[in-house]
Chain A
Amino acid sequence: MSNIFVRTVLSYLIIFGTPLLLPWMFIKLVGLGGLRDLVTYEARDTPLHKLDPRLKVLYPIAMGILSIVLNWDYMLIVFGLSVIPWFWLRPSRAKVRVLMVMVIGPALTGFWSQGLYYLPPPPIHYIYQFPPTISWMGSPGLTSYGLVFGLQQSARVLVTVSTSMLILVSTDVGDFTWAFEQFRMPPAMGFALTAALRFLPDMISRTTLVLRAVELRGYDMSKPRWFQVRLWPNYVKRLSRCIVIITVPLLVGSLRGTTTMAMVADARGFGVNRRRGSLQEHPLTAYDIGGYVILVMLVGGAIVLNHFHIGARPY
């Protein structure tokens, strides 16, 4: 009896422990205020910053294609390639912390969930088999095959997310707008991205401020200790109710700001011409040409190899 009890407790820990690491990591390492670092451009003088913005826009798309079409063995190479530019960029410590949590966190959850729920054909090798007491969860146990499969899927996601983040933190939003324009996309698209990236940090700051304000007005947001189990449901209830309470001031403040921003954009001639000028000239450098060649070779190579069933994903 005690054996099954211990196994049940252990099984619950295995199922929920890893996913619960996510909010814990977020609160401890990032916090709401730390999210600002996620989308804040870091002006630096690295070769990555100087690359042709068009190449930068194409880079995550190309890596995304590779992560879709290649099998796991080849994906490992792509994954390795996607990590290298980060060493080139050398982001600030605060940014690394946020990126690690925001990128690795979901990947870890994906990896773990596949380990629990992805079932290969028998015979199944269980790392830990769950007792019948938690059969209602729908998972027979943690499988090595599932974990490996989860690792592969997470790596695919990681490649796309990490390359997108790399470009986001190393590219001035004006360069994005220029690149979109070169791709014949409407200027409004570039402006929407500009506005979002510019105002997201402000929105995060304001949310932090309003959350402080609601506590100052006497709304209890204090978190119970982990062992005060009976207090947790009430905490979750208060937290959910708080979202409703803070919505009005957040909305009012945001809408008020957009009116001024729209007037400023109008006054500065936004949307007057289909083509825009540019402060930055982006002449093709050797780096850019090299980058384009590598991208074309990677994507072209992957497609050709796929055609000959080399490195292709089994479907």
Chain B
Amino acid sequence: MLITGVSGCGKSTLALVLCGLIPSRVPGELRGRVMFRGEPLSGMKPHEASQLVGMVFQNPNLQLINQTVQSEVAFGPENLALPHDEIVRRVNWCLDVTGMDGMRKAATVTLSGGQKQRTAIAATLAMKPQILVLDEPLSDLDPVGAQEVLGTLQRLARDEGTAIVIIEHRVDEVAPWADRVVLMDNGRVVLDQPPRQAWADAAPWSRTGVGVPDVVQLAHALPDAFSGALPLSVEDAAAQLAGTWVVPALARAARYRAAAVDTPNAPSPDTALAEPVPASQPAESQRAWRPPVLAWDGISVDFNAFRAVNDVTLRVAEGESVAVIGANGSGKSTLVSLAVGMGTPSAGQVFFRGQPVTPGKVFEHSAQVALLLQAADEMLFEDSVIDELKFGTKFRALPPNPVLDVEGAIEFFGFSGLENVSPWELSQGGRQRLALAALLVGAPGVLVLDEPTTGQDAEHMRSFLRLLEAVRKRTGLTVLVVTHDIRGLASRAERIVLLGEGEVRLDGPTRKVLARAEELKRWGVLAPPLPRLQVQLLGQCDDVLLSVPDFAATVSAYRDLAALQGVPAEQAGRM
């Protein structure tokens, strides 16, 4: 069962109630009862309830108490004073079913995010619950870690018959195998249906601001192309679209775009119609003239014997928007943090506007390159919003920011009336906005964002992206984003740089990089559903359309063009 809804709608509270942790451990007034096979769960002690309904929390770091994987899994059965043989049996089963058997003696601090979350699942399963509740288990994970966890959950449901209740914003990944979808809003369940029925009507989803899988959105946008049941996965959608007018229209649009990029000044091959797709992505040639604001020249970074970054040369042009993507440990954060003087390269040099960036001089370089950490909360130090915005100017003399001063930032970031409120009274999104605003008040030349949308729901993500776009428009900032969120964040960048094992594996306009689904996969990155769908439909393509409106508008335009030219739709692709 997938439970979804915007942040603060009551999903996590419901999960805590389901597991009997409310009201026993989280204070609150509980009305009604949770029944498990006729027995009330709400009155049970947490350890009794956890043997019926197990809970896996969002942050794996906070739920791993012991030092090794096997001792973590054994912790629950040991507390229940089970016989040694039974503990061994449970531990072996849990490690086997979660695929962690090979790492049973590994120290938990050395595990990747996906491995930590699988260990947490194993430890919860060791209590032998019949239902497993997971509260946003994917939000802190990279695509590979998310796939590991989802694979484990699928195995549990299919092979072991464990009921899985998953609370998640990343609906695209969970949708294909959910049997039931529950939508919550303002503490209430507003929808509870099988997935195809749940997403058949888009109204409740748009009303609540909750994300809908891309393939579902596409089916709504092109109702005449999808004749069968509502698709829930890329494979579903590809199977339904194969042989329809969409494929030739898509192929023709792709050929046109390739021709336009190869000969940017050439007249349009379709004289009857202007370019049907809004040119939201500047071509390679358009950004080539811009001077580099940041340059990494032959950079390598070593951590003892481990080479995190290997001989990377990279230029970021003034005003450009670049997403750096890659699996965990691919060297993304290490590489970009060098731009602000954090870390020391073992070879090469980083330049900001032609001047070398000195390792260790973070204070000096942070005036030019602002870095927003993933843990934005760790960047807040003051008692009020206004003091937080003035923090930077308190400790160094900064020239007045003509574009975004403190007063301007209060208005622009929506803090009017909240000047004297403590940052800790703001929502998580509010605190992130405040940290961003405080950095921008210092008028940096480049804004670097490290995983800014992790754990955010669709609505918060959309509003953050709108805010970022507005900031770019107002300040003309160069923006560099390190992200796992390919669908939401990276696909809105002008350019994507893919890192794999510390080296640049792909670098180019977003549309072109996301068309290389196989290469992305090889380096631990899963392309978003729409690009994968296009690759599946066309076999191979040079570039892809990134949003559902773009996709729908483009294929519809080429179908109309074919009709104007009197060509049957199914032949239009060969024109």
Residues of chain A whose beta carbon lies under 8 Å from any beta carbon of chain B: 36, 40-43, 93-94, 172-174, 194-195, 197-198, 201-202, 206, 209-210, 212-222, 245-246, 248-249, 252-253, 257, 260-273, 275-279, 281
Residues of B within 8 Å of A213, CB to CB, are 373, 375, 378-379
In the complex where A249-B378, A262-B25, A268-B127 touch, is A174 in contact with B76 (Cβ < 8 A)? no
The 7 residue pairs across chains A and B that have the minimum distance between CB atoms: A269-B47, A218-B392, A279-B74, A268-B76, A269-B79, A174-B71, A267-B50
A41 touches B68 (CB 8 A): yes
In the complex where A42-B107, A216-B373 touch, is A264 in contact with B70 (Cβ < 8 A)? no
In the complex where A206-B378, A248-B381 touch, is A269 in contact with B391 (Cβ < 8 A)? no
Residues of B within 8 Å of A278, CB to CB, are 74, 78, 84, 87
Partner of B375, one of A209, A219, A268: A209
Task: Give complex CA distance A201, B54 in Å.
Answer: 27
For residue B396, CB closer than 8 A to chain A, the reply is yes
Partner of B47, one of A195, A249, A267, A275: A267
In the complex where A43-B105, A267-B55 touch, is A218 in contact with B366 (Cβ < 8 A)? yes
Residues of A within 8 Å of B59, CB to CB, are 257, 260
B25 touches A269 (CB 8 A): no
Q: How far is the CB of B484 from chain A (nearest CB, A)?
A: 19
Instruction: Report which residue of B46, B54, B87 has the largest number of chain A beta carbons within 10 angstroms of its beta carbon.
Output: B46
Residues of B within 8 Å of A214, CB to CB, are 381
Residues of A within 8 Å of B64, CB to CB, are 198
Instruction: Report which residue of B77, B79, B127 has the largest number of chain A beta carbons within 10 angstroms of its beta carbon.
Output: B79
Residues of B within 8 Å of A265, CB to CB, are 65
Task: Give complex CA distance A36, B298 in Å.
Answer: 31
Binary A-proximity of B15-37 (CB < 8 A = 1, otherwise 0): 00001010011100000000000
A249 touches B377 (CB 8 A): yes
Task: Give complex CA distance A270, B127 in Å.
Answer: 12
Partner of B79, one of A94, A252, A263, A271: A271
Residues of B within 8 Å of A218, CB to CB, are 363, 366-367, 391-393, 395-396, 398, 442
Task: Give complex CA distance A222, B67 in Å.
Answer: 35
Partner of A222, one of B55, B363, B438: B363
Residues of B within 8 Å of A253, CB to CB, are 375, 377-378
Add 9 more A-B contacts to A215-B362, A219-B363, A263-B46 (CB < 8 A).
A41-B107, A174-B68, A194-B67, A202-B61, A245-B381, A257-B61, A260-B63, A269-B47, A273-B80
Residues of A within 8 Å of B362, CB to CB, are 212, 215-216, 221-222
Residues of B within 8 Å of A279, CB to CB, are 70-71, 74, 77-78, 84, 87-88, 91
Q: List 19 A-B contacts (CB under 8 A).
A: A40-B109, A212-B362, A213-B373, A213-B378, A218-B392, A221-B362, A222-B361, A249-B377, A260-B57, A260-B59, A263-B26, A267-B49, A268-B47, A268-B76, A278-B84, A279-B71, A279-B77, A279-B87, A279-B91
Task: Give complex CA distance A263, B19 in Å.
Answer: 10
* Total number of B residues with any Cβ neighbor in A under 8 Å: 76
A276 touches B79 (CB 8 A): yes
Partner of B78, one of A195, A197, A277: A277
Q: How far is the CB of B478 from chain A (nearest CB, A)?
A: 17
Residues of chain B whose beta carbon lies under 8 Å from any beta carbon of chain A: 19, 21, 24-26, 45-47, 49-50, 54-55, 57, 59, 61-68, 70-71, 74-84, 86-88, 91, 105-109, 123-124, 127, 304, 340, 342, 360-364, 366-367, 370-371, 373, 375, 377-381, 391-393, 395-396, 398, 424, 438-439, 442
Task: Give complex CA distance A218, B442 in Å.
Answer: 9
B57 touches A264 (CB 8 A): yes
Q: How far is the CB of A15 from chain B (nearest CB, A)?
A: 31
Task: Give complex CA distance A268, B72 in Å.
Answer: 10
Q: How far is the CB of B264 from chain A (nearest CB, A)?
A: 39
Task: Give complex CA distance A54, B275 in Å.
Answer: 78
Q: Which residue of A lies closest to B396 (CB)?
A: A218
Q: Which residue of B lies closest to A256 (CB)?
A: B62
Q: How far is the CB of B402 from chain A (nearest CB, A)?
A: 18
In the complex where A43-B106, A216-B379, A217-B391 touch, is A277 in contact with B77 (Cβ < 8 A)? yes
B46 touches A94 (CB 8 A): no
B84 touches A281 (CB 8 A): yes
Q: Which residue of A lies closest to B380 (CB)?
A: A249
A201 touches B109 (CB 8 A): yes
A212 touches B342 (CB 8 A): yes
Partner of A220, one of B304, B360, B395: B395
Task: Give complex CA distance A281, B367 in Å.
Answer: 58
Residues of A within 8 Å of B82, CB to CB, are 277
Q: Which residue of A lies closest to B66 (CB)?
A: A174
Q: Which residue of A lies closest to B77 (CB)?
A: A277
Residues of B within 8 Å of A209, CB to CB, are 373, 375, 378
Q: Which residue of A lies closest to B392 (CB)?
A: A218
Task: Give complex CA distance A196, B64 in Å.
Answer: 12
Q: How far is the CB of A133 from chain B (nearest CB, A)?
A: 38
Q: Which residue of A lies closest to B448 (CB)?
A: A216
B84 touches A268 (CB 8 A): no
A269 touches B50 (CB 8 A): yes
In the complex where A249-B380, A253-B377 touch, is A273 in contact with B79 (Cβ < 8 A)? yes
Residues of A within 8 Å of B379, CB to CB, are 213, 216-217, 249
B65 touches A194 (CB 8 A): yes
Q: How far is the CB of A199 from chain B (nearest CB, A)?
A: 9
Q: How far is the CB of B400 from chain A (nearest CB, A)?
A: 15
Residues of B within 8 Å of A194, CB to CB, are 65-67
Task: Give complex CA distance A202, B67 in Å.
Answer: 12
Task: Give complex CA distance A269, B57 in Å.
Answer: 16
Q: Which residue of A lies closest to B106 (CB)?
A: A43
Residues of B within 8 Å of A173, CB to CB, are 66-67, 71
Instruction: Report which residue of A215, A222, A268 has the largest number of chain B beta carbons within 10 angstroms of its beta carbon.
Output: A268
Q: How far is the CB of B332 from chain A (nearest CB, A)?
A: 16
Q: How far is the CB of B538 from chain A (nearest CB, A)?
A: 44
B380 touches A172 (CB 8 A): no
B377 touches A252 (CB 8 A): yes
Residues of A within 8 Å of B25, CB to CB, are 262-263, 266
Q: How far is the CB of B176 from chain A (nearest CB, A)?
A: 30
Residues of B within 8 Å of A215, CB to CB, are 362-363, 366
Task: Give complex CA distance A264, B71 in Å.
Answer: 15
A217 touches B50 (CB 8 A): no
Task: Give complex CA distance A219, B304 in Å.
Answer: 29
Residues of B within 8 Å of A277, CB to CB, are 77-84, 86-87
B370 touches A216 (CB 8 A): yes
Q: How far is the CB of B24 from chain A (nearest CB, A)?
A: 8
Residues of B within 8 Å of A273, CB to CB, are 79-81
Residues of A within 8 Å of B340, CB to CB, are 216
Instruction: Report which residue of A217, A222, A253 has the largest number of chain B beta carbons within 10 angstroms of its beta carbon.
Output: A217
Q: Which residue of B lies closest to A219 (CB)?
A: B395
In the complex where A174-B74, A214-B381 touch, is A264 in contact with B395 (Cβ < 8 A)? no
Task: Give complex CA distance A82, B76 in Å.
Answer: 36
Q: Which residue of A lies closest to B82 (CB)?
A: A277
Task: Give complex CA distance A217, B80 in Å.
Answer: 48
